[in-house]
Every structure is written in C-alpha cells, then in structure tokens.
C-alpha cells in the first residue's frame, strides 16, 4: 500500500496519533530523521553522491562561456567562489527590488547577463550551479528574512503549504507538522525543512532542488505539480526555507 494512502486511511480511522510539531523555535533538519548509514554518506565528501553535482557546478562556475564576450562566474565571485557572500546565500529566497528571487533565479539572471543566453528553470546547468553555490555556504545558518514587505508573501506561502491537494486530499502540513517521526515507505517523515536542498535523493538517484521535491510530493498526493519557477513554487520555497531559519545549510544533503 502506498505510504501516503496508508497515512490518509489511518488519519480517517483515528489510528495515527500526531507526534506534534517541534518545540517552537527549534526546527529539526531532515538529518535528524535519516538512518545512520545515510548520515555517514552525507558527512563524507567521498561517499556523498551529491558532491558530483557540486564538482560539475564548480567547473561551470570557473569556465568562461564558449563564444561571445561573456565571462565566467569566477570573474566576479572569485575562483571556486572564494569571494561569494556565504551569509547572503543563506538568505535566499529574498526580495530584490520588490520581487521575490530564489537562488536559482539569481544564478539564471547572472548567466543571462554574462552569456546572453537564458536557460529554463531547473536546467541541469542551473541546478549544478545552484548546488555548487549553496554548498559554498555549507554550515552557515539559514537566515531568510521574515519581517517587513516579505510578510505578505510568507502568508501566501503558508496558505499553499496548508492547502489540501489531489485525490489524497492532504496538505504538506499533514505530514511535516503533525507526523514527523512516523514511518512512510521505510523512512521516517521529516519536518520538511529546506536547509539541505538541492539534495541527493536515494529514491531517484539524482540531485533534486526544493521546487522539484515539492513537485514530487504533489505527485504522490495524486495532484498536478506546479510548473517549475511558478509563483506557487516560489512562494512555497520561501515559506519552507523560512521554517528552516537557524538550521545549517547542508547542501548537498542525502535523503531517501
């Protein structure tokens, strides 16, 4: 039986007792819910398969684009990103000139400006660069702003997070707020934090961005996923990342 279907049936039957949310102000990374062997894989750069994408992103970061007069990302941000503002990386998504911008969108805008060529959302090169850049901030606490003009956007993101979707008719909050620690398809449900993304998923065998993971969850709910880069996905990414404030960036985390 599909794990989410099983949870839905248990919810309806009243046989699953909510574990309850974490203590206020103390979010728990998905790292707290994975198996010891998976933790060991994540902690060792030689074992962590996500580091292959970090290396691919590093090569793209340092390489001058073919043709034209474009320059490498390293031309502004230093070889291997040694001039990157790691605290700033940990603040994405963020408002820029009144517009909500994700880290991948910022990378895409930089690429379009320096190469004259725009790449679509979740293009492999953009994902690799996002993974590399986020990895430069490894260990830095997530610090998404939650006050000022962004508050209205956070409320919209939270509404989407608590909306029921699909034939399964559950929301993100049903799993990640009420039942963290319960078993689902052989793994424990986490709090759905975003501090490890882009993350390597053992289930799919590839690096997955937070927005891609949202789409995978919606598919499991038997719902139509939002389009890559859509307003809904961006608002959900903002809200989920804000819930991770204070947790260290773990990119590339290893998750089931």
List active site positions.
Answer: 217
How far from the centroid of its chain's Cα atoms is residue 104's Cα? 11
* Alpha-carbon gap, residue 200 to 51, rounded angstroms: 9
Looking only at the bridges linking them, the beta strands covering 183-184 and 254-255 are unpaired
Which stretches in the chain have pLDDT values below 50? 1-3, 5, 9-23
**Hey, what domains does the chain have and what are their CATH numbers?**
3-44+143-255 (1.10.760.10), 51-136 (1.10.760.10)
pLDDT value, residue 16: 45
Concatenated DSSP letters for 228-244?
A: TT-HHHHHHHHHHHHHT
State if pTM tops 0.85.
yes
Q: Which of 255, 242, 177 is nearest to 212 (CA)?
A: 255
* Alpha-carbon gap, residue 199 to 51, rounded angstroms: 10
Where b means 16+ CB within 10 Å and e means fewer, 123-159 reads eeebbbbbbbbbbbbeebebbbbeeeebeebbebbbe
Phi then psi for residue 67, to 5 deg, are 75, 165
pLDDT value, residue 21: 41
pLDDT value, residue 114: 84
């Amino acid at each position: 039986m599909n794990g989410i279907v099983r949870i839905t049936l248990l919810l309806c039957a009243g046989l699953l007792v909510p574990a309850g949310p974490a203590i206020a102000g103390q979010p728990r990374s998905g790292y707290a819910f994975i198996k010891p062997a998976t933790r060991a894989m994540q902690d060792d750069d030689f074992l962590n398969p996500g580091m292959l994408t970090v290396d691919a992103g590093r090569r793209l970061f340092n390489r001058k684009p073919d043709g034209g007069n474009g320059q490498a990302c390293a031309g502004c941000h230093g070889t291997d990103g040694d001039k990157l503002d790691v605290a700033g990386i940990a603040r994405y998504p963020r408002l820029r000139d009144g517009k909500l911008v994700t880290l991948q969108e910022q990378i895409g805008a930089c690429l379009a400006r320096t190469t004259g060529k725009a790449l679509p959302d979740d293009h492999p090169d953009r994902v690799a660069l996002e993974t590399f850049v986020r990895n430069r901030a490894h260990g830095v606490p997530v610090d998404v702003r939650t006050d000022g003009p962004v508050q209205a956007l956070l409320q919209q993101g939270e509404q989407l997070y608590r909306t029921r979707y699909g034939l399964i008719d559950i929301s993100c909050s049903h799993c990640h707020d009420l039942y963290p620690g319960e078993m689902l398809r052989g793994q424990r449900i986490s709090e759905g934090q975003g501090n490890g993304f882009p993350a390597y998923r053992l289930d799919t065998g590839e690096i997955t961005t937070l927005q891609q993971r949202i789409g995978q969850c919606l598919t499991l709910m038997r719902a139509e996923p939002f389009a890559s880069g859509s307003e809904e996905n961006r608002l959900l990414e903002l809200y989920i990342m804000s819930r991770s404030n204070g947790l260290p960036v773990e990119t590339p985390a290893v998750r089931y």
